[in-house]
Structure formats: structure tokens, C-alpha cells
Amino acid sequence: MFVRWLCVMLFVCWGAPLWADVAGFVQARQRLKAVPVGGISYLQQNVETYRGRVVELTATVKGVSSVGGEQVVVLQSADGASVCPRSVLPLQGQLGAQLRVLLRIAEDSIVGLGNTEIVQAVHEADIAQWEARQRQRQEAAVKSPPRTSRPLVSRFNTPVRTSGGEVVTFEQWHSAVYDAYARAISRFNPRLKPQQVEVITNSILAFSWYYRVDPRLVVAMVLAESGFRPDAVSRAGAMGLGQLMPRTARGLGVSNPFDPVQNLAGAIRLLHGHLNTYSGGRAYREGTVSWNDIILAMAAYNAGAGAVRKYGGVPPYRETQNYVKRVITFYKQLCGMR
């Protein structure tokens, strides 16, 4: 009897495990198509965007209580905002713990976040360590693209002829232009850490070469989209450097839009698709596009290909027209044109 009582006390004092393992949390967020959000304050202001969905956020457990026979947890994110979701997970012993949480927003959460539920949780330190290992692998893949017989990947190993007639390999080109791009990106967002600048620069150069997109156009696009802020979130819910919408990100295979490597891979792939469509395939075959191709591609990136098709060109939306002008202006400046 004493041993049983002791086991119960230890369970309450130290808390039960929150999950089987980190892999279980990752599988859950993929299965539930969880959307990362910056914090509870942003979520409260944009609850209509996430009704009926599962979001992923980092928060600290500030309290645990029982209300009407249900366990209610007080969560507070770094922005100071709080939410009180229901939870069937054993969180009694997690007071003060920082968790990564999968939070289900009910369909009837019309005002605020009055009806929410914790679906899964894991300690922030554990999932952050796992994600760091994944980023290292992705960065290594960007720096050293694998040799394969697939046409796009083989471009890393195939020399190309520049506009000046010089034949160069990816490694030669990367070495020649890296510093200039890194300095420019640092100026665009001085708050970026050197390691972030390195990852973003390498990703832009590698995926631009991979998809035969002018990296100066990618830089102009990212500058217009997010100002090179990896954590940027728009009012509409677009996320990360390339401002990918949740559904678009999922369609591109981007599980974490706030990860620079994943976001840029998806954004450049999407841009390449639009350029290839409006160039009649030249973007893929030759890596060449016209100014009209670029204008239509940027309009499609902002407003969607359906809108461009509907209006037979740049849609008459003020936001889209201003966006296209900004990108083209930045791109011309980066190309040394007026």
C-alpha cells in the first residue's frame, strides 16, 4: 500500500511524460497539418483564420486546474498573451515548463479563443534540439547536393554558360557571388545573425541554381515579401521569408514555413513554376524569361494563377499591382538597371 501511495505521489510531483517520443509529436503535427503561429496574441487577433484547425505554438504552463471535471491549462506565450485550453494530457506536474503545443481551435471560436484543446505537447528544448538536427541535415544537403540521375539535381554537376559566354560550375559560381549576396542580405535585415545570413544566402543560391531562377529576382521577391524576416507573418496568415500561405506551404511539402531552408525551397519552387508557365517552358529548358514572364509570374505569386488567368494579366488589385512594381523595382536595382 505504501509503495502504491509513493508511486502516485511521484507521478503527481514530477509529472507524467507528455508523449511517447518527439517523433510522435512530429507525426501528430504532420497528420493534423498543424500550422505554426508566432504567438497567442497573433492567434487571438486572427482567430477567424484558424477556426477548425490545429496550430503549433510555444508557450509556458502558468497553471493547471479542474473546471467542471475537465482539466484546464493556462498557457502564456512570449508575447505575454494567455489562453486556457482543455487538456487530457497529464500536465499537473509541468507548471513553469516551456512546451511546444498543438492546439485545436474549435469551429465555434468566433470571439477570442474560448474553445480550444491541447492535442499534443512536448518540451520545447526536446523538439528544438530535434529541429536543429534536421536543419543541419538540410543545410548540409544545400551545401553539398547529392548526385542523382534526376534532371534538376544533375544541374549542380552540370556546368552552365553565363550571359558573358563563360562556362562555370555551381561551386565556381557560388564561390564568386556568395559574399556579395551575404552582404546584401545583411543590409536588408541587420538583425539577422551571421549563421542565419549564411543559411539564407546558401539556400537562395542553391535553390536558384537548382530551379534555374535568377537569384537576384529571388532576393527582390523576398525583400518585398518579408524584408528578410524569417518569422514574418502577414495579416492574412502568410508566413516566413517567402510569405507562404498555410495551404500553399503544405502543397509544396513545407512542414515548417518559419524554417528558412524549407521556406525558400518552397518559395523558389513556386516562383519557378509560375515562370515556367508564363514563359512557355523556357524557364525550365533554357533558364531564360522575358520581362512580361516575370511580371505575370510575380502577379501569380501574389494573387494566384487563377486571378492572372481570369483577368488575362496582372489582376486589378491595388495590392498585387503595387507588389509587382516593388519587386520589379528591386530587381532592376539589383541588376544595375534604372
Determine the 3-state secondary structure of 100 from DSSP: strand
φ, ψ for residue 76, nearest 5 deg: -130, 130
Beta bridge partners of 244: 239
For domain 139-334, which CATH number applies: 1.20.20.10, 3.90.1150.10, 3.40.50.1240, 1.10.530.10?
1.10.530.10
pLDDT score of 84: 87
> Which DSSP letter does residue 233 get?
B
137-142: long-range contacts, CB 8 A cutoff, minimum separation 24: 138/259, 138/261, 138/262, 139/199, 139/202, 139/261, 142/202, 142/203, 142/206, 142/207, 142/261
pLDDT score of 259: 92
φ, ψ for residue 212, nearest 5 deg: 55, 50
**183/177 Cα distance (integer angstroms):** 10
Tell me where in the chain the CATH 1.10.530.10 domain(s) lie: 139-334
Name the stretches of the chain with pLDDT < 50.
Answer: 1-20, 144-154
**280/275 Cα distance (integer angstroms):** 8
- Classify domain 14-121 by CATH number: 2.40.50.140
CB burial class (10 A; 0-12, 13-18, 19+) of residue 237?
middle
**155/133 Cα distance (integer angstroms):** 27
φ, ψ for residue 104, nearest 5 deg: -90, 125
pLDDT in tens, 78-122: 878 888 888 887 776 788 888 888 989 888 755 556 788 888 888
Beta bridge partners of 102: 56, 120
pLDDT score of 139: 62
216: Cβ contacts below 8 Å, ≥ 6 apart: 331, 334, 335
Tell me where in the chain the CATH 2.40.50.140 domain(s) lie: 14-121
Beta pairing, strands 54-67 & 35-36: parallel
Q: Return the active site residues.
A: 225
Nearest partner of 275 among 212, 203, 224, judged by Cα: 212
CA distances from 33 to 118, 159, 238, 244 (A): 15, 39, 15, 15
pLDDT in tens, 286-329: 667 889 999 999 999 999 999 999 999 999 999 999 999 999 99
**94/19 Cα distance (integer angstroms):** 13
Q: How many CB atoms lie within 10 A of CB 308?
A: 24
3-state secondary structure string, 260-280?
HHHHHHHHHHHHHHHHHHHCC
Residue count (the chain): 338
Beta bridge partners of 54: 104
List, in sequence order, the alpha helices (H) in the chain.
2-14, 22-31, 40-45, 47-50, 124-143, 151-154, 170-188, 194-211, 215-226, 246-251, 260-278, 282-285, 291-303, 305-311, 318-334
